[in-house]
Amino acid sequence: MHIDLSSRTAVVTGSSQGIGLAIATGLARAGARTVLTGRGEERLRQAAGSLIEAVPAADVATVTCDLTTEEGAGLLGDAVPDADILVNNLGIFGPTDALDITDDQWREYFETNVLSAVRLIRAYLPGMKERGWGRVLNIASDSALVVPVEMIHYGMSKTALLAVSRGFAKDASGAGVTVNSVIAGPTHTPGVEDFVYDLVGKDRPWDEAQREFMRLHRPQSLLGRLIEPEEIANLVVYLSSPQALATTGAAVRVDGGYVDSIVP
């Protein structure tokens, strides 16, 4: 399948590393002008360099902003008034005992993982509808469906993203714009790598460590290893393509079979 996004501008939030950077790289490889966002200017500069190293002909821009605030969303909107593809990847996670999650933590997770996406959808969806073409992808998680007891606040935020995606897909009905969620399973990122070694010990090669982690702590995975960020990116690039017009309002899984269900 040949995916050509050469006439499109893609905004990818939380894209200075990990899944976000992999998605931005995949979109750039398909020809899209790609905008990286994050709070750290130096990290964004390094991310842009990494992307250009992988895709030498890439057209890449960076916008340093805090998208958990209205001001940050405004800065991005001023720098990039229109986008054809919006990937809401920005998110935080971390374990907290269920009864110890504070009001401030509940608010922080909602602000960061949900409201930041809603703000940008409100900013970019009208232009997509007016032009008759657009793609909105909200990066959710298996935790939206299999809520982890140690991260109920995180699971809540990712479940909310599924509703956000479905609702805005209805708003965009018939406009040539699709809105979908991507349910990502346990994925290999620097933060997760540290988490894995903390649980299974640091005295073993990475491949062995991750498989032991999956066996002990994620046994329902059918893949038996962590998903690589590029594997998440492959699905996002497809859903961003003209070929994916018939997929909208969906929660599409790239979870390695982690969610024990025969339907999405």
Query: Which residue bears the tokens 């979908």?
Result: 180
What is the Cα gyration radius of the chain? Answer: 18
In terms of Cα–Cα distance, which of 180, 142, 146 is closest to 162? 180
Angle at 110 between CA 107 and CA 113, to 5 degrees: 140
In terms of Cα–Cα distance, which of 44, 50, 37, 47 is closest to 9? 37
User: What is the C-alpha separation between 174 and 28, in angstroms, rounded?
Assistant: 27
User: What is the C-alpha separation between 182 and 175, in angstroms, rounded?
Assistant: 21
Residues recorded for the chain: 264
User: What is the C-alpha separation between 162 and 155, in angstroms, rounded?
Assistant: 11
Q: Which residues are tagged catalytic?
A: 154
In terms of Cα–Cα distance, which of 79, 92, 168, 158 is closest to 128? 168
Q: Is 81 exposed, middle or buried (0-12, 13-18, 19+ CB in 10 A)?
A: exposed
In terms of Cα–Cα distance, which of 139, 231, 125 is closest to 178? 125
What's the DSSP call for residue 66? -
CB 90 within 8 A of CB 17: no
Which ranges of 17-100 does DSSP label H, i.e. alpha helix? 18-29, 41-54, 70-79
Q: Is 33 helix (H, G, I), strand (E, B) or coil?
A: strand
